[in-house]
């Protein structure tokens, strides 16, 4: 899922200051699952902004804020507000701005990464959407996202006791995980091969990416 967290309240208040009626707009997707932008968080944030900024705050939560089709449900509500405070990830915020070109749209969240829930209130990053997935080679452990140096031929010399030298208290060495996983699978032979340099233009380093499926061209 996309993992996000709420911005500091002072920053949110500064963003919406000066408006009279704001729509706090949540999303029922990833940010609901990671407890940062669902119906419950919309309700809590709206109450705080109402009290702190002495303004009217309307509330709504879309099934998904990254999809234009779900905005019909809040079109009237959005039109009568003079700004939207979006509790979606950055994709949802930009979709709201695209659909309401004359209206200020502000992010209430900081979008952090794509990752998994590791326990109560804990998430970790495990995919950078690199565009050329290598999980099939590395035992379904991603060295691109989970190795601090994105090494494809690791480990580096800093791995110790299964932890990464960048932060031995917090970050597991991805290459230790790759090693352990391949060993468990009886595929240690994989580590004998040198991974070839990859085409990083498929990552964001090649500029903003687009995906256009030819098999769906008739539907456009």
Q: Which residues sit at the interface with ligand SF4, rule CB under 6 A?
A: 127-130, 133-135, 142, 144-145, 147-149, 151, 154-156, 158-159, 164-166, 173-175
CB of 34 to ligand SF4, least distance (A): 18
CA distance 83 to 57: 10
Q: Look at strands 109-119 and 122-127 and give their pairing.
A: antiparallel
Nearest to 145 by CA among 117, 122, 178, 118: 178
CB of 60 to ligand SF4, least distance (A): 32
CB of 153 to ligand SF4, least distance (A): 10
Tell me, what DSSP letter sits at residue 26?
A: E
Nearer to ligand SF4, 54 or 210 (CB): 210
CB of 30 to ligand SF4, least distance (A): 16
CA distance 120 to 71: 31
Instruction: Note whether 78 and 41 are within 8 A (CB).
Output: no
Nearer to ligand SF4, 61 or 176 (CB): 176
Nearer to ligand SF4, 32 or 159 (CB): 159
CA distance 119 to 117: 6
Give 5's strand partners.
Answer: 110
Nearer to ligand SF4, 95 or 142 (CB): 142
Nearer to ligand SF4, 18 or 158 (CB): 158
CB of 149 to ligand SF4, least distance (A): 4
Residues 6+ apart with CB under 8 A from 45: 6, 12, 24, 85, 87, 108
């Amino acid at each position: 899922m996309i993992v996000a967290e709420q911005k500091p309240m002072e920053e949110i208040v500064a963003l919406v200051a000066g408006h009279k009626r704001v729509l706090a707009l949540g999303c029922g997707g990833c940010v609901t699952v990671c407890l940062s932008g669902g119906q419950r968080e919309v309700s809590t944030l709206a109450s705080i902004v109402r009290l702190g900024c002495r303004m009217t705050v309307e509330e709504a939560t879309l099934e998904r804020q990254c999809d234009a089709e779900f905005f019909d449900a809040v079109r009237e509500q959005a039109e009568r507000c003079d700004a939207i405070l979006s509790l979606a990830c950055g994709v949802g915020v930009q979709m709201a701005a695209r659909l309401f070109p004359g209206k200020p749209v502000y992010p209430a969240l900081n979008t952090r990464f794509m990752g998994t829930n590791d326990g109560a209130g804990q998430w970790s990053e495990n995919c950078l959407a690199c565009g050329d997935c290598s999980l099939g080679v590395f035992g379904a452990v991603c060295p691109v996202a989970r190795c601090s140096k994105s090494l494809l031929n690791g480990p580096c010399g800093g791995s110790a006791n299964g932890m990464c030298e960048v932060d031995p208290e917090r970050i597991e060495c991805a290459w230790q995980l790759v090693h352990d996983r391949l060993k468990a699978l009886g595929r240690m032979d994989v580590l004998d091969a040198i991974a070839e340099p990859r085409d990083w233009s498929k990552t964001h380093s090649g500029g903003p990416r687009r995906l256009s499926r030819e098999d769906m061209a008739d539907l456009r």
